[in-house]
Structure 1
Amino acid sequence: MQKPHVLVIDGMALLFRSFFATAMSGNYFMNEKGLPTNAVQGFARHVLTARGLFAPSHVVITWDKGMHTFRNDLFGGYKINRPAPPQEMVPQFDMAQELSKELGWINLGVVGMEADDTIASVLQKWEQEAHFTVVSGDKDLLQLLRPDVTLQFTKKGFSIYDTYHEQRFRDEYGIAPQQFPDVKAFMGDSSDGYPGVKGIGPKTALQLIQTYGDVDGVLASLHELKPGQRKKIEEAGELLHVSKQLAVIRNDVPIDVSLNDLYWEQAPASARDFCNEHGYRQVLRHLI
């Protein structure tokens, strides 16, 4: 019997991508109520197009729930430089989840966790029962690759993706996907605002993990490193371990739905009325 094919959507990634795709030209697709809909409609179109491209049997949408997460408690500088979302986007967070529900998709997210953690938890919960296509723009998700997981990173428009399977990752990086957080522990992440080891970039970080396996392996072999590298790592101190904790995507978010709940064939008839009422004309054109 063929396993279910679950399309796992990073809702936040698609929502932000859709917003800025048209906001740059000042087009927010205001509806009759005076509310912007560019992010909402772009998000839904992305999901509907992905469903057509990848032909899943099941669909689930994951979301961040608030800006403060356990990672902020680990490190005060985590994402501290991220600007607040533009005011035209603020109402669209709830609007997108409401539209998602009306279209028949399950929304998942837990306060204090990120969408990435929910994605990992979905993969963990049904790892023996399904195979997965994950749509996102976040390369941190590379650590989740395994034989039954395909990552589709948004690249251009609604239908062009950069596809990663586990073997492609191993060929390109020379390590296992699960070692990717160890690389990030050394190189840090300026976008997320955590430091890694000052003076060690992506190339050196990857070489260290290729050679020594993980953070602990590098620390146990400091005597083998060049004096300059050794000094940088020693000066980083506990920040190295904190950076790894920040880089690791957790897979213990409670998932309180069944796999059957994610089954999706088409939007209910009521979704057309909902889209008409809220001015989601672009979405209407993509519904069966």
Structure 2
Amino acid sequence: MEKRVQASQTIMLIDGMSLLFRGYYATAYSGRIMRTSAGVPVNGIHGFMNYFLDAIETFAPTHVVCCWDMGSQTFRTDRYDQYKANRGAPPDELRPQFDLIKDVMDSFGVPNIGLSGYEADDCIGTLSRLYSEDADTKVQILTGDHDSLQLLKNNVHVIIMKKGVSNYAVYTPEVLFEEKGVRPEQLVDVKALMGDSSDNYPGVKGIGEKTAYKLVCEYGSVAGILDNLADLAPGVRRKIETELAMLHLSRELAEIDVQVPIACLLEDCCWMPDTEQVRQQFEALELRAFLKRLG
């Protein structure tokens, strides 16, 4: 990838599905779905735009990219067929909004990036790695998913969206260490031990969050723990030895792939939206409440 970055540039990488699902459920909880006069549901897009525009105004990036999941089949489901198998199908009213929100991003001049077989997190991780190779470049990851915290670096910050608009927790490596006592890369080892109920992989049965953090803080990594099995309490050692294969598999599932074959040139993601194109898209979707925010 060609990188032409100036010290003043900040690249925001957006987890598109995180914003869209959050926007959908924030506006559908009452049972009333916002629709256009033609009956097209747009409540997820409306919620997405609330989050998106507020983040742009709050963090002022110079470049913006939006990353997407491209279906439920990925290299992780190939490795473990129960991965995310606990998740139901998206609501019928949300399905048509997947493509429509990408059209809205196109109107802003924001590239939509995704690749079959990978998750949005993997695309975000790959672009984050590429853009952050210049130490003077700042990367911001906007998401509601704490898995992205493993990508933290001195010049890569993760902005976790909390309940409500304009409510964020901004993580740096220092903030993470102060809160959890671990480095970003150690989060993968924590997840390997404790599993992830949301993503539906078990880790080591019988080891919870508290024990997982304690072990990783003490021994540094899964490899360090395995090198010191004899020093562990008998019950913990027995659990790990019994679930050794799942421990290694869970670690594979937890780790974000930062080598996805994707590219996005920085000149293609400058934040310089064409107001008229955006206006036309908002008019088409009858999102007139956002027109006044275009300036």
TM range (shorter): over 0.9
Moved over 4 A (4+): none
Tell me the residue number matched to 1:245: 252
* 1:30 pairs with one of 10, 32, 35: 35
RMSD: 1.2
Given that 1:27 and 1:38 are in contact with CA atoms closer than 8 Å, whether structure 2 keeps it comes out as: no
CA deviations on 1:189-240 (whole Å, 9 max, x unpaired) are 0110001001100110011111111111111111101110011001102110
Q: Name the aligned partner's letter for residue 168 of structure 2.
A: Y
C-alpha contact 2:127 2:263 (8 A) present in aligned 1: no
Question: Which stretch shifts more, 257-266 or 33-42?
Answer: 257-266
Which letter maps to 2:293?
H
Correspondence for 1:173 among 167, 176, 180:
180
Matching of residues 70-149 of structure 1 within 5 Å: 70-129=75-134, 130-149=137-156
Counterpart of 1:2 (choices 4, 7, 10) is 7
**SS of residue paired to 1:269:** helix
Cα contact 2:186–2:220 (8 A) shared by 1: yes
The residue matched to 1:78 in structure 2 has which SS? coil
1:283 corresponding residue in structure 2 = 290
- Secondary structure of the equivalent of 2:106? helix
Identity of aligned residues (%): 43
Letter of the 1:152 partner, please give it.
I
Distance 1:255 1:55 in 2: 25
Matched position secondary structure for 1:286: helix
The equivalent residue for 1:163 is: 170
- Given residue 32 of structure 1, which amino acid in structure 2 is its aligned partner? S
TM-score (norm 1): 0.97
- Asked if the contact 1:65–1:109 (Cα under 8 Å) also holds between the matched residues in 2, the reply is yes
User: Given the superposition, is the C-alpha separation of residues 267 and 43 from structure 1 closer, same or farther in structure 2, using an over 3 Å criterion?
Assistant: farther
In the alignment, the residues of structure 1 paired with residue 60 and residue 278 of structure 2 have an alpha-carbon distance, to the nearest angstrom, of 21
Aligned to 1:257: 264
Which whole-Å CA distance do the structure 2 matches of 1:281 and 1:141 have between them?
A: 33
Quote the Cα distance in structure 2 between the aligned partners of 1:215 and 1:262: 38
Length-normalised TM-score, structure 2? 0.94
1:54 aligns with 2:85: no
Q: Is the 8 A contact 1:39 1:89 kept in 2?
A: yes
Displacement of 1:285 after TM fit? 3.2
Specify the alignment match of 1:66 in structure 2: 71
Question: 5+ unaligned residues in a row in structure 2: which ranges?
Answer: 1-5
**Separation in 1, partners of 2:270, 2:96:** 28
Question: Which of 197, 209, 214 matches 1:207?
Answer: 214
